[in-house]
Amino acid sequence: MKTCKNEKEAWEIQETYKDKPHGWIQWKGTEVCMDVTCKCGEQFHIDAGFAYAVKCPYCGTLYMCNGHIQMIECEEITHSCIETERLEERWS
């Protein structure tokens, strides 16, 4: 488990998945629906916008929400899948 003193330090120690497939969440006023499991073992639910950080309602632990998400390669997907254009096509 990673721990830090403040958000700046959290930013510096977050998993960035450098040289690994990953995504980056850009909070743009969108809402998130998130189930959280705390280090104390309790679970809680969040429905909020701009969830940069969360606080456990049971023990008070503060967490920075890492914007990086892990991308897991699959041979097939059974749920809806977003397809997008290449960045060079988007900006040309």
- Quote the pLDDT of residue 46: 92
Is residue 2 in a domain? no
Q: Are 39 and 55 in contact (CB under 8 A)?
A: no
The Cα 13–Cα 4 span in angstroms is 8
pLDDT in the model for residue 41: 95
Would residue 53 count as lying in a domain?
Answer: yes
Question: Position 67: which residue type?
Answer: G
The number of folded domains in the chain is 1
What domain range is 44 assigned to?
Answer: 7-90
What gap in Å lies between CA 73 and CA 6, rounded to an integer? 33
Beta-strand ranges (E) seen in the chain are 22-24, 31-37, 43-49, 53-55, 62-64, 68-70
Residue 36 token pair: 């959280």
56 found inside a domain: yes
Average pLDDT for residues 48-54, to the nearest whole number? 86
In a domain, 1, yes or no: no
How do residues 10-39 score in pLDDT, each as one tens digit? Answer: 778 777 778 888 888 877 777 888 999 999
Report the run of H or E that residue 68 belongs to, with start and end.
strand 68-70
Tell me if 66 is assigned to some domain.
yes
Do 70 and 14 meet the contact criterion of CB atoms below 8 Å apart?
no
In which band, very low, low, confident or very high, does the pLDDT at 70 lie, cut at 50, 70 and 90? confident
33 is a domain residue: yes
Nearest to 14 by CA among 25, 28, 23, 3: 3
